[in-house]
Amino acid sequence: MVAQPTAADIRSQRRQGLFGNTLEARKRRFGLFFALPAFLFFGMFYVYPLFQTFYVSLFSWSLIDEPSFLGTANYTRLFADKEFLNAIWVSFLYAFGVVIPIWGIALGLALIFNRSFRGRQAYLTVYYIPAVISLTVWSLIWLLLYNPSFGLFSVVMRGLGIGGLRMLDDPSTAMLALILLSIWKGTPVYMLIFLAGLRAIPSDYYEAAEIDGARSWQSLLLITLPLLRPVFLYVMVISLIEAFKVFTPMYLLTSGGPGSATRVLSMFIFQNGFQYLKMGYASAASVIFLLILLLLALLQFRLLRFQQVD
Amino acid sequence: MSKNRIFRTLTSLLGQMGLLAGALLISAPSLYMLSASFMNSNEIFSTRLQLLPEALNWSNYLEVFARFNFWLYLNNSLWVTGAVVLLNLLFTPMVGYSLAKFNYPGKNVLLLFILATVMVPFTAILIPLFLIVRNLGWINSYPGLVMPFAMSAFGVFLMRQFMLSVPDDYIDAGRIDGASEGRIYFQIVLPLIQPALITLAIVVFVANWDEFLWMLVVTTGDALRTLPVGLAKFREQYQTRFELMMAGSVVAAAPVVLLFLALQRRFLQGIAGLSGLK
């Protein structure tokens, strides 16, 4: 009984705070006014669609006909659909296949670029270039590179004694081919973020360690890596989400094939929604997709909190 | 002492060689695209190792622009990306300012919404977004291509971060002098964060120049296709014309690469700034 009036009091105070002619009230009104575009935009293009996805997932609908209510039938069908289960598996395979090497390479490069040497800025620029090339263009370049008869990749591999490569047509190498081009393109951004993190570590720490006679690998292991942990977790979360979102390279290089070897969730949703016009079914897959990402994010945040405690 | 110096020169030489090899490897695909865009079809189809064309052959570029709709795609890309950048420059600093310097009911909910959108994969809202845009009659129209990107979560966060660094004293001084809140924003706050606005423009430009999936879904004919979608459609129709595809790719990649080379430092700061570090 005591808590309720208090909460109401606070609310009425707030409401009073928004109206009236005090400076505080005017500031609140102005702040709200400036935030209005964001409420409208994110409400209309993100929040409402999120709920709408769930709603549409309860129907069978081809855009042209009237939607007919199915209840949860789309979901039961999804979990019996080998293609969908395969899409989940393939998405995980791709995402971890891309991000784990990226974490290592990006951190290694950042450690190199954190030192000073001749031509550092020029090297940094060149190493960053794959990141500024449009992903569409990047995918088309690799389509050419992987061409079995005249692509540069195949020609070089043939020169190294590995002939007869059909990277994109062979189910056992198609995923590897996509992972390789994604690592190549994705690494520079994370290298830069690691580098920003390394630069934020005060140099006093290293000087103190040097005075104490620490070797450079000891500084790396005992100063750099522990202090870099928040940056590392940021990179983990963002890179994993980015990798799960992938669509363009699959669309341009393999269309999800050969067979279903590279049909990631985005591709599965796109094909069911916009090629087979199964809006309800694709929406149900979208909901599961969202839940998977949510779980992954929660897991990583748990990891973050766990590590902050110790 | 001199032995030590020799050792040091040697390691630095080895380091430089390693870095150079890395640079070559990393830029190889991009350089090969540039080189292949000047090759004739015999050279590109050569099954032997051919890294450079015999002669600089501009005909691929001429053909891409003369026979296909690349002017149209380039034009569309510039208009769409330009409009998206302008809308972001208009709205995201406002929202960032509001989130950084004001208190009002619903603020935390808004922050939570925006934070959550970072994790929402675009494909997961693709279908309802398509339905909304279709209901608005925006399929195959500029608003349909532009409006879903009029703001971005990372843009708002970037702006909020920069707005937090604007001293409250400046804002209060404006208030004491009797300036209206709008005037304070436009005449005091915005000029202070001008460098951040340039960073924002770069980040938004790069992200949207590349947008593929949405443009694919929302355009039905050639008329409004942007460069990425135009290139993809070109690939579907002319599978074997790799030399033309590479010339088109160079055209599509050039604006962002040139922007990067011209504004390197600002560019790299912007990317690093996205991580909340400075």
- Whether A141 and B150 lie within 8 Å, measured CB to CB: no
Element (DSSP H or E) covering residue A59: strand A59-60
- Give one DSSP letter per residue of B67-84, joined into a string: HSTHHHHHHHHHHHHHHH
- β-partners of residue A59 are A69
Report residue B95's pLDDT band, with 50, 70 and 90 as the boundaries: very high
Report if residue B47 sits inside a domain: no
Taking contacts as CB-CB distances below 8 angstroms, the residues of chain B near A278 are: none
In this predicted structure, the answer to whether residue B19 has a pLDDT above a threshold of 60 is: yes
Taking contacts as CB-CB distances below 8 angstroms, the residues of chain B near A200 are: 277
Question: Distance (Å, rounded) from C-alpha A215 to C-alpha A218?
Answer: 5
In this predicted structure, the answer to whether residue A124 has a pLDDT above a threshold of 80 is: yes
Task: Locate the chain B residue with the closest alpha carbon to A125.
Answer: B264
From B16, B44, B110, residue closest to A38, measured CB to CB: B110
List the structure tokens of A298.
Answer: 């929660």
Would you call B22 an interface residue with chain A, using a CB distance cutoff of 8 Å?
yes
Report if residue B55 sits inside a domain: no
The pLDDT of residue A1 is: 39
The residues, any chain, with a CB within 8 Å of residue A203's CB and separated by 6 or more, are: none
| Pairwise pLDDT comparison (A182 vs B271), residue with the higher score | A182
* Same domain flag for B21 and B142: no
* Same domain flag for B127 and B234: yes
* Residue whose C-alpha is closest to residue A266's, from B152, B121, B212, B214: B121
List the structure tokens of B177.
Answer: 């002098």
The pLDDT of residue A52 is: 87
In this predicted structure, the answer to whether residue A6 has a pLDDT above a threshold of 80 is: no
Expressed as residue numbers, the domain containing B268 is: 63-275
Q: How many contacts (CB atoms, under 8 Å) link A and B? A: 285
The string of pLDDT tens digits covering residues A88-101 is: 999 999 999 999 99
Burial class of A99 by CB neighbour count within 10 A (0 to 12, 13 to 18, 19+)? buried
Report if residue A174 sits inside a domain: yes
The string of pLDDT tens digits covering residues B22-44 is: 999 999 999 999 998 888 887 88
A39 with B106: CB under 8 angstroms?
yes
In this predicted structure, the answer to whether residue A269 has a pLDDT above a threshold of 60 is: yes
How many angstroms from the chain centroid is the CA of residue A195?
19
* Same domain flag for B92 and B223: yes
The string of pLDDT tens digits covering residues B43-88 is: 887 777 778 887 788 888 888 888 888 889 999 999 999 999 999 9
Reduced DSSP (H G I as helix, E B as strand, rest coil) percent helix, strand, coil of chain B, to 5 = 75, 0, 25
Question: Distance (Å, rounded) from C-alpha B56 to C-alpha B120?
Answer: 46
Element (DSSP H or E) covering residue A68: strand A68-69
Average pLDDT, chain B: 86
* Interface ipTM: 0.88
Q: How far does the CA of residue A107 sit from the closest CA of chain B (Å)?
A: 14
Report if residue B94 sits inside a domain: yes
* Same domain flag for B96 and B198: yes
Q: How far is CA A17 from CA A23, A29, A117, A253, B104, in A?
A: 10, 9, 58, 57, 9
In this predicted structure, the answer to whether residue B245 has a pLDDT above a threshold of 60 is: yes
Question: Distance (Å, rounded) from C-alpha B142 to C-alpha B218?
Answer: 10
Report if residue A58 sits inside a domain: no
The pLDDT of residue A3 is: 44
Report if residue B48 sits inside a domain: no
- Whether A286 and B102 lie within 8 Å, measured CB to CB: no
In this predicted structure, the answer to whether residue A308 has a pLDDT above a threshold of 90 is: no
The pLDDT of residue A211 is: 86
* Same domain flag for B31 and B68: no
What is the percentage of chain B residues whose pLDDT exceeds 70?
A: 96
Report if residue A57 sits inside a domain: no
List the structure tokens of B115.
Answer: 């934070």
* Same domain flag for B157 and B115: yes
The CATH code of the domain that includes A248 is: 1.10.3720.10
Best residue in B127, B147, B206 for a mutation probing chain A (most A CBs within 10 Å): B127
Report if residue B19 sits inside a domain: yes
Q: What is the mean pLDDT of residues A229-255?
A: 89
Report if residue A6 sits inside a domain: no
- Whether B16 and A269 lie within 8 Å, measured CB to CB: no
In this predicted structure, the answer to whether residue B102 has a pLDDT above a threshold of 50 is: yes
Report if residue B44 sits inside a domain: no
- Which residue type, as a one-letter code, is found at position A197? G
Taking contacts as CB-CB distances below 8 angstroms, the residues of chain B near A244 are: 121
Report residue A309's pLDDT band, with 50, 70 and 90 as the boundaries: very low
* Same domain flag for B69 and B30: no
The CATH code of the domain that includes B239 is: 1.10.3720.10
Reduced DSSP (H G I as helix, E B as strand, rest coil) percent helix, strand, coil of chain A, to 5 = 75, 0, 25
The pLDDT of residue B43 is: 83
- Whether B113 and A47 lie within 8 Å, measured CB to CB: yes
* Same domain flag for B75 and B26: no
* Same domain flag for B9 and B138: no
Task: Locate the chain B residue with the closest alpha carbon to A255.
Answer: B236
The pLDDT of residue B278 is: 37
Taking contacts as CB-CB distances below 8 angstroms, the residues of chain A near B114 are: 38, 42
* Same domain flag for B80 and B198: yes
* Same domain flag for B18 and B144: no
From A189, A245, A252, residue closest to B123, measured CB to CB: A245
The pLDDT of residue A296 is: 86
The pLDDT of residue B275 is: 55
Expressed as residue numbers, the domain containing A129 is: 82-309
Q: What is the mean pLDDT of residues B173-190?
A: 87
- Whether A35 and B253 lie within 8 Å, measured CB to CB: no
Q: How many domains does chain A have?
A: 1
Report residue B277's pLDDT band, with 50, 70 and 90 as the boundaries: very low
Best residue in B40, B104, B227 for a mutation probing chain A (most A CBs within 10 Å): B104
Taking contacts as CB-CB distances below 8 angstroms, the residues of chain A near B36 are: 144
* Same domain flag for B31 and B95: no
Provide the 8-state DSSP code for B263.
T
End-to-end CA gap in chain B: 40
Best residue in A11, A32, A34 for a mutation probing chain B (most B CBs within 10 Å): A34
In 10 A of CB B255, how many CB atoms? Answer: 19
Would you call B154 an interface residue with chain A, using a CB distance cutoff of 8 Å?
no
A37 with B151: CB under 8 angstroms?
yes
Element (DSSP H or E) covering residue A271: none
Q: How many domains does chain B have?
A: 2
- Whether B256 and A290 lie within 8 Å, measured CB to CB: no
Q: What is the mean pLDDT of residues B223-243?
A: 86
- Whether B29 and A150 lie within 8 Å, measured CB to CB: no
The string of pLDDT tens digits covering residues A134-159 is: 999 999 999 999 988 888 888 888 88
Average pLDDT, chain A: 85
The pLDDT of residue A310 is: 41
Question: For the ranges A287-291, B226-230, B265-269, which has the lowest average pLDDT?
Answer: B265-269
Name the most confidently modeled range: A119-123, A136-140, B113-117: A136-140
Name the phi and psi angles at A68, rounded to 5.
-120, 135
- Whether A136 and B44 lie within 8 Å, measured CB to CB: no
- Whether A251 and B45 lie within 8 Å, measured CB to CB: no
Chain B, window 28-67: residues with a beta carbon less than 8 angstroms from a chain A beta carbon: 28-30, 32-33, 36, 44-49, 51
